[in-house]
Amino acid sequence: MKKLLVMLLSVLMVLTLAGCSSNGGSSEQPEGSFEETKTLKIGVVQLVQHAALDAATQGFVDEVKKAFPDADINVQNAAGDSATCSTIVQGFVNDGVDMIMANATPALQAAVSATEDIPILGTSVTEYGVALGIDGFNGLIGSNVSGTSDLAPLDQQAQMILDLFPETKTVGIIFCSNEANSKYQVEVVSDELTQKGIEVKTASFTDSNDISMVCEDLCSQVDLIYIPTDNQAASCAETIANVVLEKKIPVIAGEEGICSLCGIATLTINYYDLGVTTGQMAVKILNGESRIEEMPIQYFENPVRKFNPEVCDLLGVSVPEDFEPIE
């Protein structure tokens, strides 16, 4: 009788232990997916604070939080300094984050230099081939890096200059010499304008300390200024506005944030939506639905023509009815 009782107790203990180890379903996760029992950690490094990059970061965070409400998303800003981007990213690597989102080209470059293992998604990067030194880039990086591009059609931006100001003879282009993607945009737009018989004068600056002087000098030589999608120019847009508005020089900008402060018009993308797309890519990677090595760079498909009503009124410029006002 005692032996039978001992055997029954042993069976009950085994069944109890088996029940404790069960979660009521399969405990296996898809290959490459994020384990739900672990706190998801994502590091976000943003080059500098301005409207476009802020919107992209917010779109990314909002989208990831829909799928992972408890995710620990650490957003850090490098205040425009590439070396600080590297320091921030190294901190993420040391902390063992599950993913890095790099907002702007120098942030992406810092992340790529820091790790070959942690998935990296870039956003607000104009041309990945230029940013990462990839010859013959076909849209797929094929490593631990992918992301979204903020490239708007540069040929259409160049044509916008002539459509709005057909009498223009000389166009000045101002950009930050430290941003590789800005140089790329300058080359493309310069070629487009030169082929249309427009003289192009380029002027570069290195930081906020010299942009006012560079801008003043350029204003004295040109009929109009084009500013590409340039993070340093965006962070200094108010300084540019103080110069160009006093000189009555119209500005066509590569993105809405710059245009909202100093420009006449722009052909722009929606940076919040760009961040959302980046977040959707992140969710697919973390859920194991997609491998980052197989994810091509995503491009914004529907850029919008917008104008700055205040600056247009100040300079007496009219734009076609299909341009949307910047709110």
Hey, what domains does the chain have and what are their CATH numbers?
41-150+270-296 (3.40.50.2300), 154-268+304-325 (3.40.50.2300)
- The alpha-carbon radius of gyration of the chain (Å, integer) is 25
- Compute how many other C-beta atoms are within 10 angstroms of the C-beta atom of residue 291: 14
At 126, list the tokens: 């104009």
Q: Would you state the pLDDT for residue 35?
A: 54
Consecutive sets of 10 residues in the chain, 327 residues long: mean pLDDT of each? Answer: 45 44 38 62 96 96 97 96 96 97 96 97 95 94 97 94 96 93 94 97 91 96 96 93 96 95 95 97 97 96 94 96 94
What is the dihedral sign for C-alpha 213, 218, 223, 228?
A: negative
Q: Would you state the pLDDT for residue 32?
A: 46
Structural contact between residues 209 and 252, judged by C-beta atoms closer than 8 angstroms: no
Structural contact between residues 88 and 114, judged by C-beta atoms closer than 8 angstroms: no
Q: Would you state the pLDDT for residue 27?
A: 31
Q: Would you state the pLDDT for residue 302?
A: 86
At 150, list the tokens: 């903020």
CA 106 vs CA 84, 100, 152, 180, 285: distances in Å: 10, 14, 19, 9, 23
